[in-house]
Amino acid sequence: MTWALPTIAALLLAYAAISGRIAGTPITAPILFTVGGLILGGNAFGLIDVHAGAEVVKLLAEVTLGLVLFSDASRVNLPTLRTEIALPARLLGIGLPLTIAAGFGAALGVLGDLAWPEAVLLAVILAPTDAALGQAVVTLPILPSRVRQGLNVESGLNDGICVPLFLVVLAIAQAEAGAIGGGAAARLVTEQIGYGILAGLVAGAIAAAILITGARRHYIDSLWAQIIPVTAAALAYTAAVPLGGSGFIAAFVGGLTFGALRHRAPDHHEGDGAEHAAEGESEEEADMLDETGDVFSAVTFIVFGAVLLGPALGHLSWAMLGYAIISLTVVRMLPVALSLIGTHPRAPTVAFVGWFGPRGLATIVFVILILEEPGELPHEELLVTTAIITIALSVLAHGLTAAPLADRYATWFGRHPRTEDHPAPGAPAPGTPG
């Protein structure tokens, strides 16, 4: 591992040097980081030669997803989203269960060797979406607000929703394979969910109370106000694990709690412009959390290319590739279309929303967690390799199509507008769920 860290640092510096130049182009950061990791990984130049089961890989994955879960959850502002909640509510409440069901059916049909719990597990692993893979879709201001917000909120919440599902289905699959007993599996899942929720509630409430009280009394320096969400995410995660809870559930619940209390806090400013000042402070508080999460996400995609994708390509089969294509198209797009029945959507909108369900960070972390304890699933290699190939295909396909299809959809929408699709007065800025 001598050259792994300097190589990763060099890749980050190289991207920083051209980041402004390639912004808005089909060449996205996840594409560059994944390809860079693949080229410099153990299957090629060997500079990033780390084993998938290494503790450092697991730690990176856990820290990254914990930060992202807390950040996404803390940004959800339901009062602000009330005018645009219909689309994400349908995508999460109807589309997500249908996507898992469709993924399960496709896995049984295409990957016949999988046992039914493994097929469900693969479907759950590939259910969360990652807006970062197609950033233009949630940041382009000329896109209709409800579409931007819908996709962004869906991406921000579905990974947190899928974490407990993943834990439950993984325990069932392990019990079915005889790796653990049924009673032990049920107890494990109950503890992970229960203690995770408890730790998240406490950590989020403590952090929000400190921030609100300190800001009202002018006790907190602005820099340390930005550090509070980062430490709150760390507190939620690290408090849950010793208790036997899931750190991911704790981070997600902690973010929801922190955000809800922060948004409900009475404004401590006085005079004109108080609302804007409060919004500005809230955005500043999230800056360090977002930027920290972005850096860890970048490193995760480098490690994905170097440690996971390289070996997976050596085991690629037509069945795996076929399932990956089906997962990114039919398994995603059909449930989205069904979930939007009754809202009178137009075909281009249904196709656009259906296509942009990229698979990324959460799926990578789920794969790493499975690899942490190898051999507990009878068809682990088939399941894991299929998930990795699907992620890689999504990074490439959604990255390359995000900017051009967003421009094309925006042009079409500009020629065929609907008043209900335009940004509502007081809607949040493009690319933020709250």
Q: Which amino acid is at 33?
A: F
Please indicate, yes or no, if residue 408 is contained in any of the structural domains. Answer: yes
Please indicate, yes or no, if residue 381 is contained in any of the structural domains. Answer: yes
Please indicate, yes or no, if residue 190 is contained in any of the structural domains. Answer: no
Q: Is the pLDDT of residue 432 over 50?
A: no
- Which pLDDT score, from 0 to 100, does residue 312 have? 94
d(CA 155, CA 142): 20
- Which pLDDT score, from 0 to 100, does residue 396 have? 95
Bridge partner list, 48: 41
d(CA 133, CA 142): 19
- The two three-digit tokens of residue 251, written as one number: 């981070």
d(CA 373, CA 378): 12
Higher pLDDT: 236 or 41? It is 236
d(CA 126, CA 8): 26
Higher pLDDT: 299 or 345? It is 299
Q: Is the pLDDT of residue 423 over 50?
A: no
Please indicate, yes or no, if residue 302 is contained in any of the structural domains. Answer: yes
d(CA 391, CA 363): 7
Higher pLDDT: 63 or 44? It is 63
pLDDT tier, 282 (very low <50, low <70, confident <90, very high otherwise) = low
Please indicate, yes or no, if residue 165 is contained in any of the structural domains. Answer: no
pLDDT tier, 235 (very low <50, low <70, confident <90, very high otherwise) = very high
Please indicate, yes or no, if residue 134 is contained in any of the structural domains. Answer: yes
Question: 85-89, 116-120, 228-232, 284-288 — which is least confidently predicted?
Answer: 284-288
Q: What is the mean pLDDT of residues 214-225?
A: 83
Question: 44-48, 325-329, 386-390 — which is least confidently predicted?
Answer: 44-48
d(CA 100, CA 120): 7
Write out pLDDT tens, residues 86-138: 888 999 999 999 999 999 999 999 998 899 999 999 999 999 999 888 888 88
For residue 379, what are the domain limits?
A: 4-160+285-421
Write out pLDDT tens, residues 316-360: 999 999 999 999 999 999 999 999 998 888 999 999 999 999 998
Please indicate, yes or no, if residue 263 is contained in any of the structural domains. Answer: no
Q: What is the mean pLDDT of residues 356-381?
A: 89
Which CATH number fits the domain that encloses residue 297?
Answer: 1.20.1530.20
- Which pLDDT score, from 0 to 100, does residue 98 have? 97
Q: How many domains does the chain have?
A: 1
Q: Is the pLDDT of residue 279 over 70?
A: no
Q: Is the pLDDT of residue 429 over 60?
A: no
**288 exposed, middle or buried (CB, 10 Å; 0-12, 13-18, 19+)?**
middle
Please indicate, yes or no, if residue 216 is contained in any of the structural domains. Answer: no
The chain-wide mean pLDDT, for the chain, equals 86
